[in-house]
Structure 1
Amino acid sequence: MKMYKKLLALLLSGSMVLGLAACGGTQGNTETPGGESTPPVSESQAPQETGGTAATDPDSIPDTMTSEDGKYQVAFVTDVGQLKDKSFNQGTFDGVKLYAAANGLSYKYYQPANSSEATDDDRYNAMKAAVEGGAEVVVCAGYLQEAALRQAAMDYPDVPFIFIDGYPLDDDPDPAVEGNILANVAGIAFQEEQAGYLAGYAAVKDGFTKLGFSGGGGGTNDACCRFGYGYVQGANDAAKELGITVDMNYSWEYGATFSASTELQTMISGWYANGTEIVFACGGSMFQSISAAASANDGYVIGVDVDQSAESDTVVTSAMKGLSDAVQWAVGHVYDGTFEEIGGTGTSLGVKDNAVELPTAAESWRFETFTVEEYEALYQQMLDGTLVVDNDFSKLETTEWSNLNLNKI
């Protein structure tokens, strides 16, 4: 089968399925993609060459630029952690740069003050600076942006905001009160449980029997929770097929800020020393601590969000989602005048949209016995609906896993 065409190419060809998805207990109309094609998207939705550069490598585009008029049209407000985290922030910013470069637009990133200790006021101030700096669209990364983004969207109703790993927002912060949906916020989420499943299944099929999961957000980030829950399901199912039982350490410790830390590295080093063979590093810059622990203990790592194989020889695979392509598609709706199609709603992207996957390039595929062909067959089962991965991560602790010993730390 044809595997992993770029999400953006799919969207431009019209085979993208737009769905409204419930995420993080949000309010308003929500659905999941139904698998039916929408009418073809007009050519005007594709990035147009208006004096820009049709770059395909985001690393070839500078992170900073100088606008002649001092205004920056496409703005990015980062999540916690580093801009160049080789993960969530960087993957999202790549989409901003690629769209801007292809369309001759100015762009700028804004990092909230106080780094990992950023407050809602810090995030709001970054969004305010972006709007006052001439932003025609503001891309905000991460669920922690919710409160600040709600206020910014109300204060600047004429500015479209794109909420990556987000959901529809209303004008009342009380989740028990149904407010008015903010039409200038487009929530873009992913079905991370599918990518997590692929990674967990592949790891066990490749011979790993002692696994780990180290997640960001302290267990309050729905995206990481879906990644982890899918990972457990995939590992359990693969073990069941093999007739074995596998062990898994599962923890949110030292990941609340998604940052690298000596405490996290020490904990993961202890896991490796006690027999853990591979750890899913699910949390931005946490990867640095986990890969360092793996290198020091002859262990292995599963990356997240983007292909992290180039960052360390310890990386066996990465549970990826199409951050860059989703950003380009959403920003495209602003500039072709169709933002109302996604504003005020949530879009959930998964295998049916070619938006989650494992990398299959030769330099990234480091499994020894699990083959690309086996992986493609598994992916096809998700695609045709014969394999459905549960996304209700509240079941993680109450489920009796048939072939997996889950050790929550």
Structure 2
Amino acid sequence: MKRLAIVTTVLVLLAALTGCGGKTEEKAETTEGCEIAMISESADMDGDSFVKATWDSVKSFADQYDMAAKAYEPEEASKESYLASVKEASDDGAKFIVLAGSAFETTAYDVQTAYPDTDFLLVDGVPHDDSSNYATAANMVSVVFAEEEAGYMAGYAAVKEGYTRLGFLGGQEIPAVKRYGYGFVQGAAAAAAEAETKVEMNYRYAGTSGASEDVEKLAAQWYEGGTEVIFVSGGAMTDSVVKAAEKDGGKVIGADLDGGSLSETIIASATKGIDSAVETVLRSYEDGTFVGGTAFNYAAKNDGVMLEMGSSGFSDFSREDYRKMFNQLKNDKIQLKKDTGVDSVSELTGQWVTLKE
């Protein structure tokens, strides 16, 4: 089946949340049943900034509307475990289930037909089967983000700030992470071309989104080799890069959430409006206006992605510089390549960026 067209306007709704059982975190002291559930794509919800942000949004909405909510943490990152968690939530009485992460795309495809009386929100992906046939049922809404735009802002700002030796370290090589990386390269290339300045960039996927000594060692090698700032997209692995930066005097640009308060090494954060997206769909569920079968795209044009400037460590890249760059993206003056239609990241560098993979 063909991928449904992404809807570029976002419903202005705010939602309610609460959840269910299993290996869970509760919003309210509920002993039985639940109305809203969130399922994490890993067993370490607190260590994954994206999943934690999704849960915080669900929990906040639940508090506001006095609804019972629980978050499920599957025993392992597998489709079998995800399906088991959905069943557990459904058995506990969940009427609305949030699937947090692109790892749920094939699971979402299955459960939307297996549980026709349950409404679903897939955050950061679009339902498809194992053969990449896309379909979003009437009880499913999916939300995706223009990570390539957020990544572009990070790369452009870094070079405008004066950094010429950059690194991109992604977690797993999945579409959202690739879009961050591809955008970062394109942003750095654009700024380098404007300044006619040569830029070197290390580019790698770690194969994990978890914190690890291997990630810390790799980041340390980059810093010791002259890399000035690393843009990291990979959940808890950001902590490992920050550790290396603190030891070696490097700088970090984070992804998904504003991490400026976590470490002085984090000079900026390329963020996406997870809270707004989750609240919007939950609100539609709460007020009875939920419309399934749609996918919403959060991008610069609807303030769905941004570069956090309030906590940034930039001195040369000004708010006015940011405003001009953001408005160009918002008004479609900049056309970016995404994760599809690109055979290699080297296609995106232009003549001013030298890539090290």
CA offsets 1:371-390 (integer angstroms, 9 cap, x no match): 11111111111122222322
Aligned partner (choices 313, 316, 320) of residue 369 of structure 1: 316
Q: Structure 1 residues 241 and 162 mapped into 2: Cα distance closer, same or farther (>3 Å)?
A: same
Secondary structure of the residue aligned to 1:113 is coil
Question: Corresponding residue for 2:287?
Answer: 336
- Aligned partner of 2:81 among 122, 127, 145: 122
Q: Give the aligned residue type for 2:248.
A: N
1: CA distance between counterparts of 2:120 and 2:266?
34
Matched with 1:390 is 337
Q: What is the distance in 2 between the residues matched to 1:179 and 1:281?
A: 29
- 2-structure distance, mates of 1:95, 1:201: 30
Residue type of the alignment partner of 1:284: G
Partner of 1:28: 3
- Of 101, 105, 108, the residue aligned with 1:146 is 105
- 1:354 aligned onto 2:354: no
Q: Kindly indicate whether the alpha-carbon contact (under 8 Å) linking 2:122 and 2:140 is maintained by their aligned counterparts in 1.
A: yes
The match for 2:204 among 247, 251, 269 is 251
Letter in 2 for 1:196: G
| Larger fraction in strand | 2
Q: Provide the rounded CA distance (Å) in 2 between the counterparts of 1:328 and 1:87.
A: 17
Percent of aligned pairs sharing the same letter: 33
Superposition map of 1:261-340 within 5 A: 261-340=212-291
Normalised TM-score (structure 2): 0.91
CA apart distance, 1:101: 1.2
Compared CA separation, residues 278 and 184, structure 1 to 2 (3 A): same
Question: Given that residues 105 and 127 in structure 2 are in contact (C-alpha distance below 8 angstroms), is that contact kept between their aligned partners in structure 1?
Answer: no
Partner of 2:21 in structure 1? Answer: none
Q: Work out which of the residue numbers 155, 167, 185 in structure 2 matches 1:212.
A: 167
Number of residue pairs the alignment of both structures matches: 350
What does the per-residue CA deviation read over 1:144-202, in whole Å, with 9 as the maximum and x for residues that have no partner? Answer: 11233333222211101111011144xx5433xx5864222211000011100001000
Q: Once the two structures are superposed, what CA deviation does each residue of 1:74-122 show, in whole Å capped at 9, x if it has no partner?
A: 11101236222362111111210121111111110000103xxx22111
- Structure 1: any 5+ residue segments left out of the alignment? 1-25, 53-61
**Unpaired segments ≥5 residues, structure 2:** 19-23
C-alpha RMSD of the superposition:
2.3
Distance 1:87 1:65, change over 3 A: closer
Query: SS state of the match for residue 335, structure 2?
Result: coil
Q: Aligned equivalents of 1:241 and 1:163: distance in 2?
A: 39
1:25-70 Cα distance to aligned partner (Å, 9 max, x none) = x83321462xxx78x96xxx4458x9x9xxxxxxxxx953444461
- 1:400–1:266 distance in 2 versus 1, CA, 3 Å: closer
Instruction: Give the CA deviation at 1:310.
Output: 1.2
Deviation of 1:286 (Å): 0.8
Q: TM-score, normalised by structure 1?
A: 0.80
- Corresponding residue for residue 162 of structure 1: 121
Q: Which residue of 2 aligns with 1:78?
A: 40
Aligned partner of residue 45 in structure 2, secondary structure: coil
One-letter code of the match for 2:64?
A: A
